[in-house]
Every structure is written in C-alpha cells, then in structure tokens.
Amino acid sequence: MTETKYVEAESPDTLAGDTAAAGSVALRLSGIVKSFPGVRALKDVSLEVRSGEVHALVGENGAGKSTLMAVASGALAPDEGSVEIAGSPLGSASPEKARELGLGIVRQDPALLPDLSVAENMAIGVGYRSAGGIRKAPTWAQQLLDPWQMGISAQSRVSDLSVEQRFVVEIAKALALRPKVLILDEPTEHLSAEEVQRLFRRVRELVAGDAAVVYISHRIPEVKEIADRLTVLRDGAVRGTFNADEVTEKDIVELVVGRALDTVFPPKGSAVGSIGDDVRLEVSGLSGSHFHDVSFSVRQGEIIGVAGVQGNGQAELIRALAGVDRATGEVNVGGISIRLGSSTAASAAGIVYVPSDRHGEGLFMPLGVGENISMTTLTRAATAGIVRDGRISQTAKRQIAHLGIKTPSHRTQVSSLSGGNQQKVVLARTMLSEPAVLLAEDPTQGVDAGARVDIYRIIREMADRGTAVVMLSSDGVELEGLCDRVLVMSRGSVISQIDGEDVTEEAIAHAALTSTSVRKREAPSMSRANRLRRWLRGDQSPAVVLGSLILAIAALVGLTNAVYLSPFSLNNLLVIAAPLILIGTAQQVVVLGAGFDLSVGPLMGFLVVSSSFFIIDGGNVLVGLVVMIAGSLVAGLANGILVTRLNLNPVIVTLATALAFQGAFLILRDTPGGGVPADFTALVYSNIGFVPVAAVLAILVALGLEWALRRSRWGLELRAVGSRSDAAERLGIKVGRVRLASYALTSLLVVPASVLLLAQIGIGDGRPALPFTLSSVLVVVLAGASIFGGRGSFISIVAAALLVAQVLGLPAFLGLSGAWGYWLPGLITIGATVFYAQLRRIRKNS
C-alpha cells in the first residue's frame, strides 16, 4: 500500500475536475441536516451523484450513510436541506414520490413483507401498474427472478425464503423500476462470491444505460472493484470525495476511521505464546443438520476459525455447539460433558454464543443499552432478588467506556444505535459473562472498518483472559489476521485444518474451493411431498382441515341420531352460523391489519337497542337501518382514530369502547323493550328450501372479502400493514389510513350481524350480543389466522363459524348437559391451537 496521506476535502467536488463530464447530476443532496433525540446524525451534508457512475458512500456505522439515503429516498424528512432526483425536487418525504422520480433503493434491512408472496412484494415495490396488475404479477416477477438462478418461486411467501433469497428479491424489485438512481445499501452481506459478481454485472449494465448508482458497503475491496468515485462520511459530515482508482484500501480505511491503522489485527496468541495447555472445548463425532462427524479441540486462549463456501454446515455447527440446534455426538467443556440441544445447558457450562442475527437473537431491542449489557449477569446487580439500578448503571458505564460504545446514555434504547455499536453491546455482555468458550458467528457482519478493529481487539482480549474462541467468518482476511487455526468445512465435514503461519487468505480459499464444488441451488421439486408442504404453507389449508372435521362430526353424529341430518336441523345450524360468519369476518378484517377489536359484541348490542326504537310496529325499518350504519361508522372511526392517530394499544382502546357501548345500551333500555314486527323477522330469516337466505348472504360477504383480499389493492395493502408495518410505510403505503379503514369496515360488518340478532330475539335487548366478542375471537383462532396480522382467510372463517355452530348444537343431539356447550368449544380451540402450532413448525421446516 502507498503511504500517501489524503487531506480531507471541504466539499464533495474535491476531485470533480475529472468527472464533470461524466454525466448530468442524477442525485443532488444540498445542505442536509438531520437530528434525532440526543444525536445529530447529519451535519450540513451535500452530495452529487452523476449519471453513468457508481458512487460509493463509505463510513463507519453511525457515520450517517443510511440516514442520508433514507432522506434521499423520501423515507425521512430532513430538518434542513433539499433533495433533487434527476433534476426534479423531492418536495416532501414520500417514498412513492421518490420512486416516481426514478429512485430505487435496496436497503440493508430489506423492506419486504414476510406474510405476502414474492410477487405481491415486488408489485407493491414497483407499483401495481408496472407489474401488470395483481393477477399478472406472479408471471412478471418470475421473469425477473429467473436470471438470478436462486430457485425463487414468485408465488412463495417471503417468510419461507432464505436470507440471501430475500436480498435477491429486494435487489430484483429495485432493478425492476429501471431507476435513474439506484441506491444499494450493503447489498452483498448475504450473497456468495458468484452472486456478488452477478449483481455487479447488473450494476454495470445500469451505469452503461446512463443510470447512477450509490453503493454503500463496508467491504472496501468491493468498493474498489465497482466504484468510480467514493465519498467518505464521518460523524455525520462529508470528509471528502475521491476517485476510487487513486486511493488504496488502506487509504480508504484511514479516511473512514480518521486515524492511521498501523495494525488492524492484534498479535495472535500463537505468536506471543499466550495459548495455554488446558483444553477448554473438545468436540467428538458431532453430527447435526447439514454437518456430520465433526471433531476438534480448542485450548485455553486459542482462537480457531471455521471457514468454507457458504452453506456447507458452518453456521449449523456453531448453533449446535451453542445448544440452539439439535445434534448428536459429544461436547466437553473443561472436561465435563454437556447435554446437546439445550442452550441452557451450554450456557451453564460456560459457552456464550454471539449470533450473526443480532437484532433477532442477540439483543433485546426495546430495552436500553445498560439493560442489554447486564442481562446475563443480573444476579450480580441484585440483592435478595431485587435488581439495583445503580449497579446496572455502574457496570454499563464501565463497559461503554472500555469498549468505546457510542451512545448518548446507558439508558438509550439499543435499537437506536448503529450496527457496530449494537454488536459492541452484545460483546460487552459476553465479556461480563466471563465465558469459558466463546462462539462467534460472523461477529463483524454489517460492521464498518473502524468498529471491526475494535471487535478484533475485544475478541483477542477475551482470548488472552483464557477464553477458547470458535469464530465463523466468511472473510478470509479476517480469519488470517485473527485466528491461530482455521477449520475448513465442505459438505458438512471438516476437510482441512490450517495452522500457525500457514493461515493465510489464499490457503483458506484454496482449501475451500478445491475441496467442494461451487454452491448450486436446485430448482424447486414438483414432488407430491413438496406440493403438500406448499399447500400447508398456504392460508387455505385450515379451511380444508375444518371442513373435513365438520363432515366427520356430521357423519358420526348422524349415525347415532338420524334427526341430525334432517332439513330442519341443517336449517337451524345455518341460522346459528350466519351471525358467527359475519362477526368472524368483522374481527378478521381488523386482525389482518395487526389490530384487534374487543368491542364488536357490545357494539352489536348497542346497535340492536338503538335501532329497536325505530324497527317496531308502526315504525320505519329504513330509519332503523340508517341508525345502525351511522352508529357503526362512528364507532369504527372512533376506534381507528384512537389506535392510529394517538398510537394507543388496540386492546385497551376497544376494551374501553366496549364498556362504553355496554353502558350506553343499558341506559337506553335498562329492561328489554320495543317488539320487532313479525314480517321483519320473517323477511330476515326467509329460506330457499331449507337454506336460510341470511346464511347465503353471509357466505357471499365472506367470499367477496376473500376475493378482495387476494385481488384488490385494498386487500394487498391490508395484509402488507399487518405483515410488517414499518416496511409497508417505507414502501409508500399509508399505514394509518389502511388501519383506520379496517376498523371502520369491521364496525360496518357488525351491522348485518346485529340485524340477524335483532330478528332472532325479537326485542330491543343488548345483553344477548355480549358473548359475540368471544365468539368472534374463537372463529378467528379456529380459522388459523395469525393474531399478529398479515395472514388469514375468509374462507376459513366460514368453515370455522360452521364448526362452532355445529359444536354448539351437539349436546342436544348427544344427550349431554348444557355445560358441554361451553366445554366443547374450549376443547376444540385448544386442539386447534396445538394443531396450528405443529402446522407452523412444518411450514418452517419444509
């Protein structure tokens, strides 16, 4: 590397002389300022990216790169400054407007909706019209995905994809926009070398077509390979813009961290003689998912690396050692055998696991920095079981200072920290645990150059204290610089061990690539087993299961009592089922949007009572129906506004409104009154043969909602919001408006159920409506919907309502006491919960 020192530039045009003719300005950011509580993320940042160039943006985590690009893409509004895309100003923070102006973005955290299909995700991302409409989206999406050779089906649910497949979907979605400006934020973290080159070919094609690409990466070799120019951000400010071919990797790292890096890696234990003779970890004949018959040992103070082409069992091996995944064989820590498949047993033996997914498995995101640091050592901060906040604060402050964690306070929510600082929090907690064995899975993934140096020092420090370290990494330079030994895996076995001075990036790559073929992905199998698994993953499988159960019960009870299958009995069954279908669909609508409504039963009672003043002998039925509709709309909008505008918990809000409706109908009629006309009841419960018209209409409502859920923009956006609201918002969906509409529609669907109840009881009395809240929840649970939103089927709601109606009538036909009318639904609910839990496990493993 050269010894050239670069003076930080005063503006992004430092080296503009050579590039002024490269093209017009495709993206201009002028004087961008952005602050968050306690942090000024961007300080008067200006940046110009020209058409026909790849412009890299480099800097440490927390330097402001992702925040700057969030402003550019309309996901964040700047406090000051302006954004221009292809010469047009982005007047307000609007991802949809930025997309219309020609900007596409691939985020470090993909904005994908896990409960929607790949095709639906891509259609939302590029706009329904560009995808050819929702019906044609699967064919359109498949054509864009096939060139990646990743075996991705456009009709697969995103949650069923691997991490790398999700990133490819995000990239394909952005490229489908044919953007004038494409932002790639850490796009290669989960891609293999072959996939990275495939991405680079597409990037070069875009640039050749006069598009501009902003490339954000911590991988400096990639920056050097793909970028024409690069801009350095540090501490929220631009430190200079440079021609990529005029700076070395070392120069870039020094510019990023703001200091010379005389040595990136600390001295190895094998070089300075700090490795002890005691064997801390001994693994014998360990086998598990994707690996088999692995044996090795690690001494006190030794760092060994696990390498190989991605997907050859390395990650599964680490997770098995941590007790997260099941395995067979023997693992000894300090000479004592530990129980496999138990993370509790592994932890008790002194094994500490640092997962690659720090968000999902490494941190408690809603908690503060100090709480995360102290979580595994709370007993030291407690007296008689009472945690002392002062002790947690002291411990956290020491670790923050020792590891250089950049945080406004130890009370700051850990989710607000940059990736590198979040990883330091994980390692701070690990150090406090004083582990006998440290298992680190890609500990520097998504971490900037400066934070990497700090993490290397932390790991080496733990090894010097006597910890045996096993580290999985896909970075050959990292393995070379840090590890005393490296185990290379291929096809689930350790095929090579590299020791001492032989541990080099070249030797590791040679062992991995000459001992296994390049990773291949097979096309999805069309076997019956795979088709069955795909069906089980779908939303309609519960309807078939419930339908089969209904038929089985009917057959069994019909054999013991011939009256059970008579037209009269079937008519009675459908009469009971009709309001259950309607109230179930009402609850399903709001649940799909990740909401909940405990007020549906009391609202039903309120509508029955309020309308009974009009739907009486000599009254006006039409006026009564108008009162019902108006009351339901007011109720739905009130619930929706309190939940969406004031950001209140939906359970608390709807519980409060439920009590309000119940009190209101008791004030209106403290005793039942107001008889309903016989001809009104006869009309509502008219039949076609033995089939009630009300049941037919209820089923048609459910089928209409099912069609809208799958084929309309409303249904797609409702499922998107329920699946992952933050990603939906970043994609330009009006989350608040969608949720507000869901509460309004839920309340409107209570109206026909209220009409049926009024006709059934024949008098103004709201009390019979109260159990319908629990009935609506019961129907939704039996229908297999996700109570967290995003997944569900109105066809399954019909089947669940019919099953509940059937079960409610069983005691009379079987000669059982009335108590079984309560016990049977409870037992079936528990059975359904267990069944769906097993079904989700099959979905996950298939």
Task: From 827, 777, 833, 835, select the one nearest 801 (Cα to Cα).
Answer: 777
Q: Is the pLDDT of residue 5 over 80?
A: no
Contact between residue 309 and residue 338 where contact means Cβ atoms under 8 Å apart? no
The pLDDT value recorded for residue 528 is 53
The pLDDT value recorded for residue 14 is 43
Burial bucket for residue 375 (CB in 10 Å: 0-12, 13-18, 19+): middle
| Tens-digit pLDDT profile for residues 396-454 | 888 888 888 888 888 888 888 877 888 888 888 888 888 999 999 988 877 777 778 88
The pLDDT value recorded for residue 265 is 83
Which of the four pLDDT bands, split at 50, 70 and 90, describes residue 388?
A: confident
Give me 335's structure tokens. 């000479």
Between β-strands 493-499 and 485-490, what pairing exists: parallel, antiparallel or unpaired? antiparallel
pTM strictly above 0.85: no
The pLDDT value recorded for residue 840 is 62
Contact between residue 346 and residue 354 where contact means Cβ atoms under 8 Å apart? no
The pLDDT value recorded for residue 815 is 80
Give the dihedral sign, CA 684/690/695/701. Answer: negative
Task: Give the other-Cβ count within 10 Å of 649's Cβ.
Answer: 11
Give me 142's structure tokens. 């498949």
- Cβ-count burial 725-750 (b if 16+ within 10 Å, e if not): bebbbbbbbebbebbbbbbbbbbbbb
pLDDT above 70 as % of the chain = 90
Give me 593's structure tokens. 């949007």
| Tens-digit pLDDT profile for residues 347-371 | 899 999 988 878 778 888 888 888 8
Please tell me the distance from the alpha carbon of residue 214 to that of residue 711, in angstroms, as a whole number. 35
| Tens-digit pLDDT profile for residues 64-122 | 888 899 999 998 999 999 999 999 999 888 888 898 899 988 887 788 888 899 999 99
Q: Is the pLDDT of residue 195 over 90?
A: no
The pLDDT value recorded for residue 537 is 65
Between CA 467 and CA 476, with CA 470 as vertex, the angle to 5 degrees is 130
The pLDDT value recorded for residue 517 is 35
Please tell me the distance from the alpha carbon of residue 758 to that of residue 754, in angstroms, as a whole number. 6
- What is the tally of helices (H) and strands (E) in the chain? 31, 24
Between CA 243 and CA 246, with CA 244 as vertex, the angle to 5 degrees is 70
Give me 820's structure tokens. 């079984």
Instruction: Tell me the Ramachandran region of residue 186: left when phi exceeds 0, alpha when psi lies from -120 to 50, beta otherwise.
Output: left
Half-sphere exposure of 543 (CA within 13 A, CB side): 14
Following CA atoms 289, 290, 293, 296 in sequence, which dihedral angle do they give, to the nearest 10 degrees? Answer: -100
| Tens-digit pLDDT profile for residues 587-607 | 999 999 999 999 999 999 999
Task: From 592, 626, 605, select the one nearest 741 (Cα to Cα).
Answer: 592
Give me 727's structure tokens. 């990603």
Give me 432's structure tokens. 């406090």
Task: From 723, 836, 729, select the one nearest 790 (Cα to Cα).
Answer: 723
| Tens-digit pLDDT profile for residues 466-492 | 999 999 987 777 888 899 999 998 778
Q: Is the pLDDT of residue 843 over 70?
A: no
Between CA 217 and CA 220, with CA 219 as vertex, the angle to 5 degrees is 100
Between CA 107 and CA 152, with CA 154 as vertex, the angle to 5 degrees is 75
Give 585's contacts (C-beta < 8 A, 6+ positions apart). Answer: 698, 701, 702, 705, 749, 794, 797
Q: Which helix (H) or strand (E) is 2 found in, with range?
A: none
Task: From 636, 300, 293, select the one nearest 494 (Cα to Cα).
Answer: 293
CA dist 395 → 366, 403, 462 (Å): 20, 12, 17
Average pLDDT over residues 828-837: 76
CA dist 774 → 39, 125, 822 (Å): 46, 37, 12
Q: Which three-class secondary structure state does DSSP give residue 203? A: helix
Most confident among 143-147, 455-459, 558-562, 655-659 (mean pLDDT): 655-659
Q: Which residue has the tokens 């993206």?
A: 27
Enter the DSSP assignment of 62: T
Give the chain's end-to-end CA distance (angstroms, integer).
49
Maximal CA-CA distance, the chain: 101
| Tens-digit pLDDT profile for residues 537-549 | 677 888 888 888 8
Give 378's contacts (C-beta < 8 A, 6+ positions apart). Answer: 387
Which of the four pLDDT bands, split at 50, 70 and 90, describes residue 386?
A: confident
DSSP 745-801: HHHHHHHHHHHHHHHHH-SB--GGGTTHHHHHHHHHHHTT--TTSS---HHHHHHHH
The pLDDT value recorded for residue 618 is 58
Which of the four pLDDT bands, split at 50, 70 and 90, describes residue 534?
A: low
| Tens-digit pLDDT profile for residues 711-736 | 999 999 999 999 998 888 888 889 99
The pLDDT value recorded for residue 349 is 93
Q: Is the pLDDT of residue 696 over 70?
A: yes
| Tens-digit pLDDT profile for residues 755-767 | 999 998 988 899 9
Contact between residue 807 and residue 824 where contact means Cβ atoms under 8 Å apart? yes
Q: Is the pLDDT of residue 617 over 70?
A: no
| Tens-digit pLDDT profile for residues 783-820 | 988 878 888 999 999 999 999 999 888 888 888 887 88
Average pLDDT over the chain, rounded to an integer:
85
- Cβ-count burial 335-365 (b if 16+ within 10 Å, e if not): eeebebeeeebbbebbbbbbbbebeeebbee
Which of the four pLDDT bands, split at 50, 70 and 90, describes residue 11?
A: very low
Contact between residue 595 and residue 739 where contact means Cβ atoms under 8 Å apart? yes
The pLDDT value recorded for residue 513 is 55
Please tell me the distance from the alpha carbon of residue 245 to that of residue 226, in angstroms, as a whole number. 10
- Provide the residue type at 515 as one letter: S
The pLDDT value recorded for residue 85 is 95
CA dist 618 → 176, 239, 514, 614, 673 (Å): 64, 82, 91, 9, 15
| Tens-digit pLDDT profile for residues 114-155 | 889 999 999 988 888 888 888 899 999 999 999 888 888 998
The pLDDT value recorded for residue 470 is 95
